[in-house]
Structure 1
Amino acid sequence: MIIIKHVDEFFEMMKPMIRLISSALGANCEVVLHDMRKPEHSIVGIENGHITGRKVGDSSTNLGLEVIRKPEEEGDLLNYLTSSKDGKVLKSSSLYFYDEQGKAISSVCINYNITDFMMAANVLNEFIRTAKKVDETFTGDINDVIEGLLEEAVEKVGKPVPFMQKEDKLKLLKYLDDKGVFTVKRSMERVAMFLDISKFTVYNYLEEIRVKSN
């Protein structure tokens, strides 16, 4: 709770402060200074009032009235989302000040119009949206692609090559076949070496796999 001892001096000091904040953040940023001792006409300073359509002499908001009614409850609200009467989406923060008796006497509220940002975000999200994530190897050497697919195949089988039985090797070869590895020249020799079996065995295993698939 922020306690203010010299109320009149506080308001005189805060009026240039809200101008400073609005100037720094631009025309989309409304900054409001409230004198909560008179809620019917609490706005004593406002910059960029076009955001909510308010002016000096206008009243407190419903949030301000709640703080006046229950000063013992913490009224500060930071970084919340709200909207204006004409539909602008606002990113807002409200900071309250109290006198020595604990009564709410003032608040500074920032309402930033983020409508355009949200519309832009929707466009960007639509642009970057994809149907799914796919692993793709970008390289100048086809051998790098094959090595990557061999590693993926071992992960799919779930055990190191020295512990693989025939069924495991069939599963690995089917994965490689489905991925198009054997369309590459001399790939069968590389796979045979990787599995520590003959090229002839790889060929027979592939025939067995393809017969079952058909």
Structure 2
Amino acid sequence: MGREKMLDFLKRVADGIAMMFGNNCEVVIRDIENHKATILYNTSKQLSERDEFTTFGKSEMDKLYKGIDIINNKGITENNHSIKCSTFHAKGNGYHFALGIHYDYTNMLMVHSVVSDLIHVGNDYEATVEKDEHLERQLDEFFANAVEFIGKPIAFMRKKERVEMVRYLHEKGAFSIHKSIPIIADKMNISRYTIYNYLREIKGLPEKISKK
């Protein structure tokens, strides 16, 4: 394929890509053969704000002259817009063109942030329920073992025995289970503050008087 036919083909490809992806997409065709990387065709000057025949600097031209396709790189424009960049080379007898595709996804970053917050979820519901049920069964088992350890029903326990029961539950790790204190307090028919004071007594801390 000759130079003019290839250039015409690339222009049609550029127009098709730009039309497909809308106003946020810019497709540029550069002439690498003339050692200036001249822009021969630009579907939209809004993204890069470059006029035709704008040239790259030496370091940028050196990268283009290697003729290596570059796919899905990140770029930042002078007005701080985020763009995705890809460059594809077309070489032949008497020509070397580079087709550059630039897509401005700045607005999508805002959408991504909103959507990420919207669809963010915690743990799996069924797994959480199963875990809670397992911990509840474990707490019931701890409690039954504690009653058996004391050797008498809750209703007949004195303070010393209730403290020993709380000590047993504490040593078994029952209070590390989420929301265990109100559950145990309810089962023992005492207040949560009493449980806290028993725990402080067990740990050798002064009793905390609750305000009523």
> CA separation in 2, counterparts of 1:7 and 1:152?
79
2:97 — aligned with what?
Answer: 106
1:88 — aligned with what?
Answer: 81
- AA partner of residue 54 (structure 2): D
2:152 — aligned with what?
Answer: none
| Pairwise CA distance, 1:29 | 0.5
Mapped contact 1:68–1:104 kept (Cα < 8 A)? no
- AA partner of residue 23 (structure 2): A
Q: Report the 3-state secondary structure (helix = DSSP H, G, I; strand = E; otherwise coil) of the residue aligned with 1:13.
A: helix
Structure 2 counterparts to residues 57-206 of structure 1, below 5 A:
57-60=53-56, 65-67=61-63, 69=65, 71=66, 75-99=68-92, 105-122=96-113, 147-150=133-136, 170-176=171-177, 179-180=180-181, 182=183
Mapped contact 1:76–1:95 kept (Cα < 8 A)? yes
Unaligned runs of 5+ in 2: 140-144, 146-166, 189-195, 206-212
Mapped contact 1:146–1:181 kept (Cα < 8 A)? no
Q: Report the 3-state secondary structure (helix = DSSP H, G, I; strand = E; otherwise coil) of the residue aligned with 2:53.
A: coil
Structure 2 counterparts to residues 12-31 of structure 1, below 5 A:
12-31=8-27
In 2 relative to 1, CA 126–176 (structure 1 residues): closer, same or farther, beyond 3 Å?
closer
| Pairwise CA distance, 1:55 | 3.1
In 2 relative to 1, CA 62–49 (structure 1 residues): closer, same or farther, beyond 3 Å?
farther
Q: Report the 3-state secondary structure (helix = DSSP H, G, I; strand = E; otherwise coil) of the residue aligned with 1:81.
A: strand
- AA partner of residue 212 (structure 1): I
Of residues 48, 53, 56, the one that matches 2:49 is 53
In 2 relative to 1, CA 151–76 (structure 1 residues): closer, same or farther, beyond 3 Å?
farther
Q: Report the 3-state secondary structure (helix = DSSP H, G, I; strand = E; otherwise coil) of the residue aligned with 1:50.
A: coil
1:203 — aligned with what?
Answer: none
| Pairwise CA distance, 1:210 | 6.4
In 2 relative to 1, CA 94–146 (structure 1 residues): closer, same or farther, beyond 3 Å?
closer
In 2 relative to 1, CA 42–147 (structure 1 residues): closer, same or farther, beyond 3 Å?
same
Mapped contact 1:34–1:60 kept (Cα < 8 A)? no
- AA partner of residue 52 (structure 2): V
The percent identity for this pair of structures is: 16
2:155 — aligned with what?
Answer: none
- AA partner of residue 31 (structure 2): D
In 2 relative to 1, CA 63–28 (structure 1 residues): closer, same or farther, beyond 3 Å?
farther
| Pairwise CA distance, 1:56 | 2.8
Mapped contact 1:80–1:93 kept (Cα < 8 A)? yes
Aligned-residue CA RMSD (Å)? 4.5
1:197 — aligned with what?
Answer: none
- AA partner of residue 148 (structure 1): H
> CA separation in 1, counterparts of 2:27 and 2:112?
24
In 2 relative to 1, CA 61–171 (structure 1 residues): closer, same or farther, beyond 3 Å?
farther
Of residues 6, 10, 14, the one that matches 1:10 is 6
- AA partner of residue 54 (structure 1): R
Q: Report the 3-state secondary structure (helix = DSSP H, G, I; strand = E; otherwise coil) of the residue aligned with 1:86.
A: coil
Of residues 26, 32, 40, the one that matches 1:44 is 40
| Pairwise CA distance, 1:124 | 5.3
In 2 relative to 1, CA 151–53 (structure 1 residues): closer, same or farther, beyond 3 Å?
farther
Mapped contact 2:37–2:61 kept (Cα < 8 A)? no
Q: Report the 3-state secondary structure (helix = DSSP H, G, I; strand = E; otherwise coil) of the residue aligned with 1:8.
A: helix
2:158 — aligned with what?
Answer: none
1:212 — aligned with what?
Answer: 202
